[in-house]
Amino acid sequence: MPDDADLAARIAADLAQVKWPAGDEIRRTARRRTRRSVLAASLSVLVLFSGIWVVATRPLQAPPLQTGFAAAPESVPEPVPTTIGPGDPAWIPPEALLTPEDVGQGLVASRVSVDQDRPVGDWMFTLAPCRNYLSVRTYEGVYQFRRQQTVEYPPKIPGQPETGMPVLYQTVMRLPAGAAEQMMSDAVTVAKVCPKYVSEGTLSAAEAGRSGQVVKQLPVQTTHAWQLVDRGFAGDESLLFKHTMVASTGARRADLGASAVVVLRVGDLVATVEQVDGENPARTRKLAARAASWLCTTATPPC
């Protein structure tokens, strides 16, 4: 079983990556449901309270193997095929992202994905539960190309990649003219209107040996807080946010710690770099500067 430090890091990292509906979809839903409250997307998690062990699963990550309890089966999305290749101006090469060596020794890159021409949507903040977000006008266009990766420790259990401990998440998007600058402005705006909010979901436990049958469900509330702590330290534009989370099931509370999230622009590229352990801002700024340097030759115009 993971130690307490590993547990807190895994929970914080995974909850931060939960994907919510795109902003335009949320607004359409809110308009349709004039007589009903707008509910945030449910949070898929596995809970074992014998020692307060809560594990969240990312959309692209298979549920972790547990002792005594096992997560109900989940479908894993297939990679999205792309028509953009190295010869296309929108292409973002792997070399434009941080390397595991940039982040730390003994790390590996995993869950690498690429896609193209899709709505930006809720690209950074888990803001669907924030009521004020519905009134904010943000960029609702598409990105031309996107590359994502997770940098983590190698799996603790050989052959089970989902048991690796995430250290950093990175996303790089290429945007149409003017959109990159707008998204940087959007990041500041939404952090101001939604500095603190609560998301609601359901904790589900499935007992091993029962074919994944769910044996217990509990409502869970996660309190999110976002704080802009620095700006203008890397690339053409850069923002450093502190994201803290506290989960509660009513009788029990778990401090999920803080992650550091950098939003960075170089030319027409916007990158997010999330460091799971956000307690060292100087280290985060250094990683952001390194990330900006890798984007320089890929950006339009190049540095």
The count of C-alpha atoms lying within 13 angstroms of the C-alpha of 127, restricted to the half-sphere facing its C-beta, is: 28
Question: What is the model's pTM?
Answer: 0.72
pLDDT at 249: 83
Short-list 134, 157, 115, 114, CA closest to 30 = 134
Say whether pLDDT at 27 is over 50.
Answer: no
Q: What is the largest CA-CA distance in the chain?
A: 57
pLDDT at 8: 55
What pairs with residue 275 in β-bridges? 168, 260
Type of residue numbered 96: A
Contacts 24+ apart (CB under 8 A), 90-96: 90/116, 90/144, 90/145, 90/174, 91/145, 92/145, 92/146, 92/147, 92/172, 92/174, 92/269, 92/298, 93/298, 94/147, 95/294, 95/298, 96/147, 96/172, 96/269, 96/294, 96/295, 96/297, 96/298
**pLDDT tens digits for 221-259?**
889 999 999 999 999 999 999 999 898 887 788 888 899
- Report the pLDDT averaged over residues 11-18: 52
- Report the pLDDT averaged over residues 158-172: 86
Q: Reduced to 3 states, what is the DSSP secondary structure of residue 284? A: helix
% of the chain at pLDDT higher than 70: 67
Q: What residues contact 22, with CB distance under 8 A and at least 6 apart? A: 119, 120, 121, 122, 140
| The two three-digit tokens of residue 148, written as one number | 């994502």
Helix, strand counts (H, E) of the chain: 5, 12
d(CA 301, CA 303): 7
% of the chain at pLDDT higher than 90: 43
Quote the radius of gyration of the chain (alpha carbons, Å).
Answer: 19
Determine if the peptide bond prior to 81 is cis (ω within 30°).
no
